[in-house]
Structure 1
Amino acid sequence: MKASDIRAKTPDQLSEELAGLKKEQFNLRFQKATGQLEKTMRIKQVRRDIARIKTITREIAGKSQA
Structure 2
Amino acid sequence: MNANELRAKSVDELDEELQSLVKERFTHRMQQSTGQLTQTHLLKEVAKDIA
Aligned residues: 51
For 1:62, the equivalent position in structure 2 comes to none
Give 1:3 shift.
1.8
Listed as ranges, the gaps of 5+ residues in structure 2 are: none
**Percent identity of paired positions between Structure 1 and Structure 2:** 51
State the SS of the aligned residue for 2:31: helix
Listed as ranges, the gaps of 5+ residues in structure 1 are: 52-66
Larger Rg: 1
Q: RMSD across aligned C-alpha pairs, in angstroms?
A: 0.8
Question: After the TM superposition, which segments of 4 or more aligned residues of structure 1 sit over 6 Å from their partners?
Answer: none
Matched, 1:16 2:33: no
Q: TM-score if structure 2 supplies the norm length?
A: 0.91
Larger relative contact order (C-alpha < 8 A, sep ≥ 6)?
A: 1
- More helix by percentage: 1
Q: TM-score if structure 1 supplies the norm length?
A: 0.72
